[in-house]
Amino acid sequence: MPNDIPLLGYVEYPATEMGERACAFRAEMERRRSVRHFSTRPISRQVIEEALRSAGTAPSGAHMQPWHFVAISNPEIKRRIRAAAEEVERAFYEARAPQEWKDALVPLSTTWRKPFLEDAPYLIAVLAQRHHLDAAGCPVKHYYVPESVGIAVGLLIAALHHAGLAMLTYTPSPMGFLNEILGRPS
């Protein structure tokens, strides 16, 4: 196994250009906001796929890429996801959410109702993979899964924003219903 893997495509910029590029990127990211109200205007699947390809370039523990992205545009699947999400969200808001959490959400006008799950042209489910199966069907452990998936999601968010799309990270708890609806193993 080689000790040094060539860094293909690397471009070394002059110091002033590095600073300009860093400032321009920061300025672009400062405009990024999470939104809860989406246009129903269609989005090209190519834009979504390119953003997912960008996310797939993320570094990961032992380069295992322990993620699976599912881009969902089918209205019926989005409806099922919304119904299941609202069921767990309602239970959370009514029984489990601490008052401090509810108070923090007041400025955002967030409730258990999640119409954006049907309004947004695409939902992207991000599923972590604790292991994969090798050619013989034996499990191979993945390393630093939460960290690796988090980095990939960060790149996905930046890529979507760079393409001119608004988005929202949304994490219902529990979210096991996604595995069932999307036909993924639990």
Per-residue confidence band for 108, with pLDDT thresholds at 50, 70 and 90: confident
**The model's pTM:** 0.89
Rg of the chain in Å (alpha carbons): 19
| Residue 173, pLDDT score | 84
174 prior amide bond cis, ω within 30? yes
Delimit the domains of the chain by residue range: 42-182
pLDDT above 70 coverage of the chain, percent: 98
Predicted confidence (pLDDT) per residue in 125-149, tens digit? 999 999 999 999 999 999 999 999 9
| Residue 186, pLDDT score | 67
Find, among 165, 170, 169, the residue nearest to 31 by Cα.
165
Beta carbons within 8 Å of 116's beta carbon, 6+ residues apart: 36, 37, 38, 168, 170
Beta carbons within 8 Å of 82's beta carbon, 6+ residues apart: 114, 115, 117, 118
| Residue 164, pLDDT score | 96
Find, among 173, 181, 13, 8, the residue nearest to 97 by Cα.
173
Q: What CA–CA distance (Å, rounded) separates 59 from 52? A: 14
Q: What CA–CA distance (Å, rounded) separates 157 from 124? A: 11
| Residue 2, pLDDT score | 59
Name the architecture of domain 42-182. 3-Layer(aba) Sandwich (3.40)
